[in-house]
Copies of this chain bind each other. A is one copy, B any other.
């Protein structure tokens, strides 16, 4: 397939590389910043542009991977080409595109991407939605060339997924940071916690989280929880976070979600 990539952020970069590796042709890479466009275009053997007037119409798919609030204006600029156009945003309804161009869809990768960190793209869940059945099927076929985990997800479901991803990724990473800062404050290295963090994530690869919950809250060990809150004494926000998350664990356990 001939694919034009609009954007040069983490999602655009990883998707473009995956498509290129799978044998697709990346026609152009657009970024407002020609430096960023050039960097990515070089990797995927595409042309770099920084002006939508330079768009090459000889393409099969516009992949819009930009900030949510820039999607509409870009879609408007591209609509005259009447090509299949998708965005990659978890939190943006498909109608944002399909109101502008009926050949619309969503190509949402449910993963956290970093520059400079390779990822096995075939493990990345890809969530597809098309404005009609033909488009959905076409996007599914395309997605299957780069991933073994392709799902059909409509816009309301995708918004839930995006919210769930905040709980499953962004918030745990913040809690890792809290832990790291606690250690640093007491002259200990974050290295000590890394195996624990990895094992915690590995455990839920073949269990449900409730089945493997450990710690003072699930045991309702009030002595330890009280001691921990005392240790956090000078950090009211962390105390509140500790209390709320512990209450959530206790509540789930009592609701019989635990084992």
Which residues of A approach B to under 8 Å, CB–CB?
A: 10, 68-69, 91, 110-112, 114, 117, 119, 123-125, 127, 149, 151, 153, 156-157, 159-180, 182-183, 185-188, 190, 192-205, 207-210, 212-218, 221, 223-224, 227-228, 231-232, 237-238, 240-242, 244-245, 247-249, 251-252, 257
A162 to B196, CA, bound (A): 11
Which of the residues B149, B182, B248 comes within 8 Å of A160, measured between beta carbons? B182
* Residues in B whose Cβ lies below 8 Å from that of A196: 110-112, 125, 165, 168-169
Which of the residues B111, B112, B178, B257 comes within 8 Å of A167, measured between beta carbons? B178
Chain B residue nearest to A183 (CB atoms) is: B164
Chain B residue nearest to A200 (CB atoms) is: B169
Copies of this chain, count: 2
Question: A171 to B177, Cβ gap below 8 A?
Answer: no
Chain B residue nearest to A165 (CB atoms) is: B196
* Residues in B whose Cβ lies below 8 Å from that of A248: 174, 178, 237-238, 241
* Residues in B whose Cβ lies below 8 Å from that of A187: 157
Given A163-B232, A228-B163; A186-B170 close (CB under 8 Å): no
Closest beta carbon of chain B to A28's beta carbon, Å: 26
Which of the residues B125, B149, B171, B179 comes within 8 Å of A175, measured between beta carbons? B171
Question: B183 to A242, Cβ gap below 8 A?
Answer: no
* Residues in B whose Cβ lies below 8 Å from that of A167: 175-176, 178-179, 182, 242
